[in-house]
A = this chain, B = another copy of it.
Amino acid sequence: MNEQPRPTRRNEIRAQNETLILRAAEKVFAEAGFGGATMQLIADMAGLPKANLHYYFPTKESLYRRVVQDIFEIWLQAAAAMDDAPGPVEGIGAYIDAKMEISRRHPDGSKVWASEVMHGAPVIQDYLETTLRDWTRGRAALIQRWIDEGRMAPVDPNHLLYMLWATTQHYADFGHQIETLNGGRALSDRQWQAAKESVKQIILRGIGAL
C-alpha cells in the first residue's frame, strides 16, 4: 500500500494542495471543533477558494476524517518504540518519550483526536473497535509478560496504558492551560525536557521498574 504516484506536475499540485488543506483543517478543527469549524475558514487559512476544498474533499466530514486518521497513524508508529525493548524501563520510557514528542510537534492533531473521542467517536468508532483494540490487547499482554518475569510491579496493564495516554496527551490537549499557568509562555526546551523526565520518573518508579 501507499505507493507513490509518478511525480508529474499534476500530481505535484494535488499533493501540495492536499497538504495545504490538511494543515489548515487540522488547525481549524483543533481550535473550533468539528461543529465550530467552517469550510470558509479552512479555505482562507489554506489560501484557496472554498469551492476548491470541495474539489479535493467532497464533504466537511471526509476532510475531518482524514485529519483524524493522520494523527492516529502517527501514534501507531510511535508505539513501535515499545515493542523491541528488552524491558519496561526501556520500552515504556521510549514510549513516553515518543508520545511527549508528538504532543509537542502535533498538538493540533492530538486535540482533534481528543475532541472526536469526547464526542463519542462518531466518525472513527470502527478504528477504536479494530485497530486500537488489537493494539491495546497486544501491549497489555507485553506488559503482563514483564510483570510475570518480575521486571515490574503487578499493576493492571490497561490502567497503566490509560495513564500513559492521559499524561502524555495532556501536554498537547491542555497545552493552553499549562501555558497560562507557566506565566503565559509556552514551555521552553528545558521545560519540555523536565516534563518528560518528571513523567518518566514518576511512572517508572510507580510501576516498580526503577
Find residues 152-210 in chain A having any chain B CB closer than 8 Å to their own CB.
Answer: 153, 155-156, 158-160, 162-163, 165-167, 169-171, 173-174, 176-178, 180-181, 194-195, 198-199, 201-208
- Known contacts being A163-B199, A198-B159, A202-B163, is A114 close to B173, with CB within 8 Å? yes
Find residues 15-54 in chain A having any chain B CB closer than 8 Å to their own CB.
Answer: 30-37
Q: Determine if A156 and B198 form an interchain contact, defined as CB atoms under 8 angstroms apart.
A: yes
Name the residue on B nearest A204 (C-beta): B206
- Count how many chain A residues have C-beta atoms less than 8 Å from C-beta atoms of the other chain: 55
Q: Kindly state whether residue A128 has any CB partner on chain B within 8 Å.
A: yes
Q: Kindly state whether residue A125 has any CB partner on chain B within 8 Å.
A: yes
Q: Determine if A198 and B120 form an interchain contact, defined as CB atoms under 8 angstroms apart.
A: no
- Interface with B: A73-81, A129-137, A142-150, which one? A129-137
Task: Tell me which residues across on chain B come within 8 A of A156, comparing CB atoms.
Answer: 194, 198
Assembly CA distance A207 to B207 (angstroms)? 11
Assembly CA distance A93 to B89 (angstroms)? 25
Q: Determine if B162 and A170 form an interchain contact, defined as CB atoms under 8 angstroms apart.
A: yes
Assembly CA distance A153 to B158 (angstroms)? 26
Task: Tell me which residues across on chain B come within 8 A of A205, comparing CB atoms.
Answer: 153, 205-208
Assembly CA distance A120 to B31 (angstroms)? 7
Q: Kindly state whether residue A121 has any CB partner on chain B within 8 Å.
A: yes
Q: How far is the CB of A128 from chain B (nearest CB, A)?
A: 4
Q: Kindly state whether residue A85 has any CB partner on chain B within 8 Å.
A: no
Assembly CA distance A49 to B61 (angstroms)? 30
Task: Tell me which residues across on chain B come within 8 A of A169, comparing CB atoms.
Answer: 166
- Known contacts being A166-B167, A205-B206, is A118 close to B129, with CB within 8 Å? no
Q: How far is the CB of A104 from chain B (nearest CB, A)?
A: 14
Task: Tell me which residues across on chain B come within 8 A of A115, comparing CB atoms.
Answer: 33, 115, 118
Chain A residues with CB under 8 Å of chain B are 30-37, 111, 114-115, 117-121, 125, 128-129, 132-133, 136, 153, 155-156, 158-160, 162-163, 165-167, 169-171, 173-174, 176-178, 180-181, 194-195, 198-199, 201-208
